[in-house]
Amino acid sequence: MRKVLAALLASAMVFSLAACGGGDSKETEAPTEAAKETEAATEAPKETEAATEAGTEAATEAAGESQAAASGEGLKIGVCIYKFDDNFMTLYRQELETYLKETYGAEVTVVDGKGDQAEQTNQIDNFISQGVDVLILNLVQASATETVAKTCADAGIPAVFINREPDAAELERWESEGVAATYVGADARQSGTFQGEIILDTPNKGDINGDGKVSYIMLIGDPENVDAQYRTEFSVKALTDAGTEVEELFAQRGDWDQAKGQELTANALAQFGDQIEVVFANNDAMALGAIEAIEAEQRKMNEDIYLVGVDALDEATAAIKEGRMTGTVLNDHIGQSHTAADVAIKMANGEKVDTKYTVDYVKVTE
């Protein structure tokens, strides 16, 4: 599995670099190709290894090129994370910091917004008064993007927004007004679609009890976040687009959190018991919580219930391998953090960049 995951990460990285080279939202429209290639690679381990090597070479070359094109020596970079206590953003920020330091020799300071937009706004103001060269921003509230982008623009500091996608109108404003701001992330619609497709790929297409419909529960991340909105919508849409009837038994917010995922699933199981055929979790942290609740009820994974998450945390891929979870979708924190860093360095060196860069998701099953 480790090998497969390494291959997935490497191939996802190649796509991310492609996105970085010419990228705008167009890249998002060819996700399935990427996924297909990865699936094919998973079936043919030898090819996967070759692909991994090729991927690594391409990655190294591209990193070398961007290093030559834009130096990070002496640059001061401020990074604001919405909260440190988030499994996925922990992997992301650690990779981002290491990559910025090791690849570019930049001076990096990473701060914890503790889930509080007012606190984070102060941190941004502090970075601005310290005169950082560029800011990398994972906002607590995506709805604060316009205000923050204006503050940064007034201070003449370029801003790279990550992880929480701003409104399309705000991206258009950056484009039309020539604002030095960009968004680096992934298209959450794709992750939702992949979750639904994983269920459609099961032997009974998710209809375990054969009553002609898939009865599911939905563990929602933070409802203000487009990742949560799109994953909730597109996971189910993949089923209905395939002509499958669905029934939503339960949908509640779990704020991306493992303990809440456990609690919500336990409540749903107590209320709906065997009627639940599929658990959709907007992320793996909540899915890991769901596993605890499902196992406490002695339900049999992949026999009388299915469970899918997003992120491909190590704990989740291990659970999939052990048959304790059906599947997940790789949210490529390596590709995203490297793209964010590459773009930040370019902006700090005064280069013009696109307003949006996306990195593909990849399906992960046994």
Kindly list the residues in this chain that would bind ligand BGC in the complex (CB under 6 A).
Answer: 86, 88-89, 163-164, 225, 227, 256, 283, 285, 310-311, 331
For the bound state, the minimum distance from the C-beta of residue 210 to ligand BGC, rounded and expressed in Å, comes to 32
Residue 20 or 286: which CB sits closer to ligand BGC? 286
Residues 6+ apart with CB under 8 A from 211: none
For the bound state, the minimum distance from the C-beta of residue 308 to ligand BGC, rounded and expressed in Å, comes to 13
For the bound state, the minimum distance from the C-beta of residue 17 to ligand BGC, rounded and expressed in Å, comes to 20
Residue 216 or 361: which CB sits closer to ligand BGC? 361
Q: What is the Cα–Cα distance from 355 to 347, expressed in whole angstroms?
A: 11
Sheet holding 245-253, edge to edge: 245-253, 213-220, 278-281, 306-308, 327-330, 362-365
Question: What is each CA distance from 337 to 88, 318, 359, in whole angstroms?
Answer: 12, 23, 10
Residue 89 or 135: which CB sits closer to ligand BGC? 89
Q: Which of 154, 149, 134, 153 is nearest to 76 (CA)?
A: 134
Q: What is the Cα–Cα distance from 150 to 283, expressed in whole angstroms?
A: 31
Cβ-based neighbour number of residue 111 at 10 Å: 18
Residue indicated by tokens 């619609």: 189
For the bound state, the minimum distance from the C-beta of residue 57 to ligand BGC, rounded and expressed in Å, comes to 29
Q: What is the Cα–Cα distance from 126 to 114, expressed in whole angstroms?
A: 16
Length, in residues, of the chain: 366
For the bound state, the minimum distance from the C-beta of residue 1 to ligand BGC, rounded and expressed in Å, comes to 20
Q: Which of 92, 12, 16 is nearest to 362 (CA)?
A: 12
For the bound state, the minimum distance from the C-beta of residue 188 to ligand BGC, rounded and expressed in Å, comes to 7
Residue 346 or 356: which CB sits closer to ligand BGC? 356
Question: 222 in helix, strand or coil?
Answer: coil
For the bound state, the minimum distance from the C-beta of residue 10 to ligand BGC, rounded and expressed in Å, comes to 20
Per DSSP, the residues of 328-343 read EEE--HHHHHHHHHHH
For the bound state, the minimum distance from the C-beta of residue 298 to ligand BGC, rounded and expressed in Å, comes to 28
Q: Kindly give the pairing relationship between strand 278-281 and strand 245-253.
A: unpaired
Burial class (CB in 10 A: 0-12, 13-18, 19+), 175: middle
Residue 63 or 186: which CB sits closer to ligand BGC? 186
Q: 328 forms bridges with which residues in the sheet?
A: 364
Q: Which of 164, 141, 162, 168 is nearest to 226 (CA)?
A: 164
Residue 92 or 99: which CB sits closer to ligand BGC? 92
DSSP state of 106: -
Residue 277 or 311: which CB sits closer to ligand BGC? 311
Residue 216 or 256: which CB sits closer to ligand BGC? 256
Residue 70 or 220: which CB sits closer to ligand BGC? 220
For the bound state, the minimum distance from the C-beta of residue 229 to ligand BGC, rounded and expressed in Å, comes to 12
For the bound state, the minimum distance from the C-beta of residue 248 to ligand BGC, rounded and expressed in Å, comes to 21
Per DSSP, the residues of 27-53 read GGG-HHHHHHHHHHHHH-HHHHHHHHH
Residue 86 or 342: which CB sits closer to ligand BGC? 86
Structure tokens at 148: 């923050």
